[in-house]
Amino acid sequence: MPHEIESQHFAERRFPARRVQAAAIEGGSALTYSSCASEQQAPAFPRRPAVQVVVISMSFTVALMASSFAATADEEHWRAVKGAALRSLFKDKEFGDGVHFAYQFRGDGTFTGTEMAKEVSGSWRVRQNELCWNWLRPPGPRECYEVQQNGTHVRLLINGSEAWYGTLEKLR
């Protein structure tokens, strides 16, 4: 005849709302489990409320972003390049990103190079504190950019937005 027992350890840790029954079986005994319909069953593993998980995730994300912004602010020192300094910055230099484009700016106001493995050429000059170039091959419009420099890194901006980014090296 089965005897109903409450296993405190078993009930609290693994099956909180279940009752454990011991049943005698021929040649030995076994444990069987039954649950009362009137009792609510708790999950086998406690769960964190979703709000706690979201708060922890957001806190971690904010901390990570703050540290990356701090590192970026310490590393970048962009300064505007204007006038005669702008001309000397590009004169007899190659401006490129190492993959997509490489333009050689000559002192005579011409440039040649490659863009996505195609030959390009045109003319360049400084006008009102901007670098302007006129594309001859392939034909294109005259474009003018504000220039900022951080060491050998240079970026060309249109209306304050970065249009080109690369490095400058002396022509060989």
- Please spell the DSSP secondary structure of 33-60, one letter per residue: EEE-TTSPPPPSS----HHHHHHHHHHH
Domain ranges, residue 37: 1-41
pLDDT tens, position by position, 84-130: 999 999 999 999 999 999 999 999 999 999 999 999 999 999 999 99
Residue 5 has pLDDT above 80, yes or no: no
Asked whether 171 and 94 are in contact (CB, 8 A), the reply is yes
Does an H or E element contain 86, and which? helix 83-90
Domain identity same for 84 and 165: yes
Whether 69 maps to a domain, the answer reads no
Whether 116 maps to a domain, the answer reads yes
Give me the number of domains the chain comprises: 2
Domain identity same for 93 and 146: yes
Domain identity same for 86 and 140: yes
Whether 65 maps to a domain, the answer reads no
Domain at 91, CATH number: 2.40.128.280
Can you tell me the distance from the alpha carbon of 162 to that of 131, in angstroms, rounded to the nearest whole number?
Answer: 14
Distances (CA, A) of 124 to 130, 156, 166: 10, 14, 17
Can you tell me the distance from the alpha carbon of 127 to that of 144, in angstroms, rounded to the nearest whole number?
Answer: 8
pLDDT tens, position by position, 6-21: 444 444 444 444 444 4
Degrees, nearest 5: CA angle 19-22-26: 150
Domain identity same for 16 and 92: no
Domain identity same for 83 and 144: yes
Whether 131 maps to a domain, the answer reads yes
